[in-house]
Amino acid sequence: MGYTLFVVEVLIALGSNMGNSLSNLQEATKRLGESYEVMRVSSVYETAPMYVTDQPIFLNAAVLVKTNVGPRAILARLKQLEQEIGRQVRHVCGPREIDLDLIAYGSASYRYVEGKTLKLQVPHPRVAERRFVLQPLADVAPDYYLPGIGRVSDLLKQTELQADSVTKLDHALLSIPSHQ
């Protein structure tokens, strides 16, 4: 008797505002392609920092990947990639060489708590308030439904007041890596 592997679509947000941000995003996208089947890659956006505003501007992007591994394994891989690319430990919402966030895992709502600490929640709990995440997500999956939150394209419309803080960079490109 054969087994059927599940395959799920996953949304990952990328951000950087330290070092060579475009190179950091390109390296992250390349390495994601070594672990997952990258289906779509967004444009790159220059975005104003949110929450902690006294820091350099960010470059943000998003990827849609397919995988057959669970959300905790994806989170572990994202954290490993951040370290490999050179992320330094700083304060929350502060500057970073690379930030890789698991935004959605198929149609699942998932929470992982270790002790009293929330380690992972998908869909990402603050995605609806972040145009810098939603704009790139709309490039790769505008009709993606985030369980309990809404459709990406509808959420993007709800952040219209932030539109001036997110600018598409036509000269900055990410390529879809071939899956190994």
Q: What is the DSSP string of 160-172?
A: GGGGGGEEEETT-
Of the candidate ranges 86-90, 114-118, 122-126, 167-171, the one whose mean pLDDT is the lowest = 86-90
| Annotated catalytic residue, options 31, 54, 77, 99 | 99
Is 101 an annotated catalytic residue?
yes
pLDDT above 60 for 77: yes
Out of 31, 40, 77, 87, the active site residue is 87
Task: Considering the candidates 31, 72, 77, 96, report the single residue annotated as catalytic.
Answer: 96
Show the domains of the chain with their CATH numbers.
8-169 (3.30.70.560)
Verdict on whether the full-model pTM lies above 0.75: yes
pLDDT single digits (tens) 88-104: 776 676 688 999 999 99
45, 92 in Cβ contact below 8 A? no
User: Shortest CA distance to 85 belongs to which of 31, 133, 45, 38?
Assistant: 31
Q: Which of 101, 130, 131, 139 is catalytic?
A: 101
Q: For residue 119, what are its two tokens?
A: 């380690």
Query: What's the confidence (pLDDT) of residue 91?
Result: 67
Task: Indicate if 96 belongs to the active site.
Answer: yes
Is residue 99 part of the annotated active site? The answer reads yes
- Write out 105-141 in H/E/C secondary structure: ECCCCEEEEECCEEEEEECCCCHHHCHHHHHHHHHHC
Partners of 146 in beta bridges:
150
Q: Which two tokens stand for residue 128?
A: 């609806």
pLDDT digits (tens, 9 = 90+) for 53-68: 778 899 999 999 999 9
| Three-state secondary structure call for residue 44 | strand
Q: Where are the alpha helices (DSSP H) in 13-167?
A: 21-35, 71-85, 131-140, 152-157
Can you tell me the mean pLDDT for 144-166?
94
Over 90: is that where the pLDDT of 146 sits? yes
Q: C-alpha 28: how far from its chain's center?
A: 11
